Structure 1
Amino acid sequence: MLDRPPLYRHLREPVLALPIDSDRSPAPDWLIPDWPAPAGVRAVCSGRNGGVSSAPWDSLNLGDHVGDDAEAVAANRAIFCAATGAAPVFMRQPHGSDCVDLDLLQPGAEMPQADACTATVPGRACTVMVADCLPVLLCDAGGRIVGAAHAGWRGLAGGVLEACVAALRQRLGEPQAPLLAWLGPCIGPQAFEVGDEVRLAFVASDPLASGCFRAGAAPGKWWADLAALARRRLMAAGVAQAYGNDGGQGWCTVSDASRFFSHRRDAARLGSTGRMAASIWQLG
């Protein structure tokens, strides 16, 4: 492990500054991963506070597809960019498994449609938006490339993590390149109730994934541990170093309305909710 001070010890510990070479400071509910990433790699996951959007998107909503005022979203994204000092690339996320190479992105190009991405261009931040789905940030042990994946249950079952891992290694030209992963906040196992079809989508290809589900109160209902399922997928893909979300209560987006957006908690009750963003990038 690199000899660096811990940047993120506990989910509820305030984050006072991003580990970047500037005096920019995010809102105190942002998450900075505590993981042994190479010195030139930076990563962050925003919270819901510190922006300009009104309810039900209050306040740092970074999603432009949830009904929020376009000017408010643009202002929030400017806040995010200024705090990180990076250029996040936001994608249209269809809950699939496609992975795009952001190095090929041309100025003025349309927003990519994919659920995972990679980049080697300094300052170009691989970014995924979430509000219950699991954000997974990745990099290689040498700090040459970074990637991000949006892992809802559909994308996870469909292989989005495997696609991102394969793309990282392919673009490095090293089929067995060691990678590190950080799992951000998502809907927790005490809140994510699913049906038989979700359980079967995982157990059909990995019988031991049954251990990531607990029987629910009604027949055919299960409590699913999304982070545990992601860790199994990463391990099977050869990513032995996975940090962050361990399925604990503090990582659950549904459980903490003051800190996190949650589609499951808020969409039916309020009509909509905002989106947080997890980004990873390389310094120049």
Structure 2
Amino acid sequence: MTAFIRWEAVQREAIVFYRFRGSPWSDIPHGFLTRKGGVSAPPFASLNLSHSVGDDPAAVAENLRRAFAAIGLREEEVVTAWLIHGNRVALVDAHHRGMILQGVDGLVTVEPGLALFMRFADCIPVLLTDPTLPAVGIVHVGWRGLAAGVLEATLELFQRRLGRCPSALHAALGPGIGGCCYAVGPEVIEALEPRIRKALPLHRRNGAWHLDLPEAVRQHLRDLGVTSVVAAGVCTACHLEDWYSHRAEHGRTGRFGAWIRNP
């Protein structure tokens, strides 16, 4: 992370979220909500924002109301997606307000004021911006999406549809599972090695290979031409007091939210 970028917490009522400060992120409304400030009972405690994990629907609805109120958005104005760990990316506009796009892992917009929102629990939230258009994007990147080329698909959309090359973009990586906690099998390594140009960030620990997923994403973005990349450096599995972790909580957990709004 470059010296002029900082990672800071913001608290509004009981809701806590984090954001980056410094150029260009201070001018881009964005953030990463923690699991604090909601009403869900364990194992979803407390600000679970997903209806798909088995939580009480009424609790999720209240959590969403609180979260969007805290970050100054209305749910019916936000575009979100039903994530599938694939490589489909959608360019959205005002007609998509309030919609949940099926089978999409990347959203991009040039619509002024439009907000993009996704849910996470170990996969990497990748925010993208081109402040000169302006345009913003959000991408859900786990190992499957990385292997499937979701980052390539997103950058191709920026270039093909918006005329913006990767070097014009700034990327910010939110909390995700780190190499300290992410033991992977050979199927993960075999799937990623053909996609990643450089050696995978792997190390051996307790007899297993561990993948530093945030570093793999950062490295891949830079290899694809995005030279401005900052990262939270926060492992979700190590910090269950703030974040949900599918791996650390054995699949029985909630989802935190990440968002970005075009200025």
More displaced stretch, 272-281 vs 106-115 = 106-115
Q: Deviations over 1:56-101 (max 9, x none)?
A: 1111111110011112111111122212223432211000011012
- 2:156 is paired with a residue whose SS is helix
CA shift for structure 1 position 257: 1.5
* Separation in 1, partners of 2:37, 2:154: 31
Query: Residue 217 of structure 1 aligns with which residue?
Result: 206
- Structure 2 portions without partners, runs of 5+: none
C-alpha change, 1:176 and 1:133, in structure 2 (3 Å) is closer
Q: Deviations over 1:159-187 (max 9, x none)?
A: 11121122123332234560000000011
- Structure 1 portions without partners, runs of 5+: 1-5, 17-24
Query: Residue 9 of structure 1 aligns with which residue?
Result: 6
More displaced stretch, 188-197 vs 82-91 = 82-91
C-alpha change, 1:217 and 1:157, in structure 2 (3 Å) is same
C-alpha change, 1:203 and 1:26, in structure 2 (3 Å) is farther
Superposition pairs for residues 44-83 of structure 1, below 5 Å?
A: 44-83=31-70
* Separation in 2, partners of 1:204, 1:109: 35
Residue 97, structure 1, aligned to residue 87, structure 2:
yes
**Residues 34 and 242 of structure 2 are in contact (CA less than 8 Å); yes or no, is this contact kept in structure 1?**
yes
163, 171, 187: which is aligned to 2:177? 187
Q: Deviations over 1:129-184 (max 9, x none)?
A: 11011100000141511000000110011111121122123332234560000000
Output the aligned Cα RMSD. 2.2
**Residues 33 and 244 of structure 1 are in contact (CA less than 8 Å); yes or no, is this contact kept in structure 2?**
no
* 2:186 counterpart letter in structure 1: D
Q: Deviations over 1:194-233 (max 9, x none)?
A: 01121122223435223x0012433xx3110001110121
* 1:130 counterpart letter in structure 2: F
State percent identity of aligned pairs: 35
* Separation in 2, partners of 1:105, 1:113: 18
* Separation in 2, partners of 1:182, 1:26: 26
Query: Residue 121 of structure 2 aligns with which residue?
Result: 131
* Separation in 2, partners of 1:84, 1:236: 33
CA shift for structure 1 position 26: 5.9
C-alpha change, 1:60 and 1:38, in structure 2 (3 Å) is closer
**Residues 38 and 143 of structure 1 are in contact (CA less than 8 Å); yes or no, is this contact kept in structure 2?**
no
Superposition pairs for residues 228-239 of structure 1, below 5 Å?
A: 228-239=215-226
Runs (4+) of structure 1 moved beyond 6 Å? none
- 2:198 is paired with a residue whose SS is helix
**Residues 137 and 182 of structure 1 are in contact (CA less than 8 Å); yes or no, is this contact kept in structure 2?**
yes
* 2:249 counterpart letter in structure 1: D
Query: Residue 103 of structure 2 aligns with which residue?
Result: 113
Q: Deviations over 1:10-36 (max 9, x none)?
A: 5xx6424xxxxxxxx264641112342
* 1:199 counterpart letter in structure 2: I
- 1:147 is paired with a residue whose SS is strand
* Separation in 1, partners of 2:179, 2:132: 33
TM, length-normalised to structure 1: 0.83
* Separation in 2, partners of 1:75, 1:274: 14
* 1:277 counterpart letter in structure 2: G
